[in-house]
A and B are shown apart, each in its own frame.
Chain A
C-alpha cells in the first residue's frame, strides 16, 4: 500500500514538474555539482570558488560532490545517470572527449546538455631543475640528440598526455611517457628529478621563482601578464595553443526552464570581479560562453580531439 501511494505521489510530483510553470520556482532545494576529480585538484580548485558565486545567483546552495576514480569516468557515468531535473550538474573538461575515444569510458559529451563554459587554463611545458636544459632551444636540441630518452610524467590518455604528444608532433621529437596521475604526484617526481618534463600550469609559479622548476613554454595565444618571461609555443615556431577548458553540463532531458535559470546564474557568476581574481590565482582565465556557443564549441573540440587521438594512435581499436 505504501509503495503504491508512493508511486502515485512521485508520479504526481513528476507531472507537476513537467507542466513547466512549476519551474518558475526552480531551484527549490540545494543543487548537486558533480566534480569527477579529487578535492584539492585543479578542477576542484576552479569549481569551488565558482560554486560560491554561482549559488549566490541561483538562490540555493550548491553542494560539490567529488565523484572520483578511473580517470574521471566514474563521475561522468554518475552524472549521466543522475535524474535530469536540473538538480544535478556536472563539471567537465576536455577529458570527456579523450576518455571516450581512448575507450576508457562509454560516456560521451553528447549525453549531456551544455549550460556554459566557465574557464580556460593554458598548459605550460615544465622541466625539472635537474635536467641539463634551461630553455626551449636547449631542450629541443637535447631531445633531438636523445630520441625517446627524455621522460614525461602524464595521466595517460588525458590532457597532460595529449599536450606533450602534440608538442612531439609539432617539434618532430620523440619522448618517453611515465604514468603519474594528477599534478601533485607529477610535481613531486619532477622536483626529485625522477621525471624530466611534465604538463603543468601557472599555479606552479612559486616553484619556478625558487629555481626548482623551469617553465619552458606556455601554450596560450600570447604571453601571460603574470609570467611575461615564459615564451609561447607559437613564437617558438610550434603552432600550438592548448588550453584545458572547463564548463558545466546537465544530463540530457533536463527541462529548458531549469537550464535557462542555470545558464543565467552562470553568466552572472562568471562576471563577478572576485571570481576573476580567484581564477587568476589558479593560472586561469574566465572564459564564459553561453549554452548555445558552448554546445557549438564542444562539437568543434570533440572533432579535434578525435583527430588528435587518431593521429597519436591512441584510438580504441
Chain B
C-alpha cells in the first residue's frame, strides 16, 4: 500500500495527537477545578487523532489512478522560500536595528527579489517605495496612533 500526500499528512497529525495526548495525562491538577487542565485537550486530541486516521484510511482506499497534478504547472518554490527567509530576517532584525532601518531594508530587498530592477531609474523607484513605506507607517503608527514601534538595541533608533 502506497500512501499519497494526504495519507502521510494524516499519519503525521495522528502521531502528533498521540504524543500530546500522552503528554496531557501528566499535567498537574488543581483541587479547586473538578477536571484538570488536560481534560479538554484530550477531547480535542482524540477528535483530531480520529479524523487524521480517517484521512489515512480514505487516502489508502482512494484510487491510485488519481492523477498527480503536481506536474501540471511549474511553480516558483525557490522564490517562496526566499520570501519567507526575507521575512524571517526582517523579524529578527527589527529588535536589533530598530523598526525604521529593518523595514527599509526589508521593503527594498523584497522588491529587488521579486522584480529585479535593471535600470537606475528602477532602483530609484525601489528606494523611494522603501523610504515612503517607512515614513508613512512610522508617522501614522508612532506619532498618530501612539504605537511605540520597536527601537533597535544596536542603534537606539
Contacts and interface: CB of A to CB of B under 8 A. Distances in A.
A and B touch in their complex, CB below 8 angstroms: yes
Interface of A: 3, 6-7, 9-10, 13, 30, 32, 61, 63, 65, 156, 177, 179, 313-314
A30 B154 contact: no
A6 B97 contact: yes
16 contacts: A6-B152, A6-B154, A7-B154, A9-B155, A9-B156, A10-B154, A10-B155, A13-B156, A30-B146, A30-B148, A32-B148, A63-B147, A63-B148, A156-B32, A313-B31, A314-B32
A156 B33 contact: yes
A177 B156 CA distance: 49
B137 interface: no
Contacts of A9: 155-156
Interface in B19-51: 30-33
B153 interface: yes
Contact of A63 (B146, B153, B154, B155): B146
Contacts of B146: 30, 61, 63
Contact of A177 (B32, B153, B154): B32
Which secondary structure dominates where chain A touches chain B?
Answer: mixed
Contacts of A13: 156
Contact of A65 (B30, B32, B148): B148
Contacts of B31: 313
Nearest to B156: A10
Interface string B78-102: 0000000000000000000100000
Contacts, number: 29
Scoring B31, B148, B153 by chain A CB atoms within 10 A of each residue's CB, the highest score goes to B148
B53 to A, nearest CB: 33
Contacts of B155: 6, 9-10
Interface of B: 30-33, 97, 146-148, 152-156
Nearest to B154: A6
A51 to B, nearest CB: 11
B118 to A, nearest CB: 27
Given A10-B155, A156-B33, 17 more contacts: A6-B97, A6-B152, A6-B154, A6-B155, A7-B154, A9-B156, A10-B154, A10-B156, A13-B156, A30-B146, A30-B148, A61-B146, A63-B146, A63-B148, A65-B148, A177-B32, A313-B31
A13 B153 CA distance: 11
A6 B157 CA distance: 9
A58 to B, nearest CB: 14
A16 to B, nearest CB: 11
A65 B150 CA distance: 13
A139 to B, nearest CB: 21
A288 B103 CA distance: 43
A7 B32 CA distance: 51
Nearest to B153: A10
Q: Closest 4 interchain pairs by CB? A: A6-B154, A63-B146, A10-B156, A6-B155
Contacts of A30: 146, 148
A9 B155 CA distance: 7
The CB with the most chain A CB atoms within 10 A, among B30, B152, B156, is that of: B156
A10 B154 CA distance: 6
B89 to A, nearest CB: 14
Contacts of B30: 156
A314 B32 CA distance: 9
B35 to A, nearest CB: 11
A179 B152 contact: no
B33 A179 contact: yes
B36 to A, nearest CB: 13
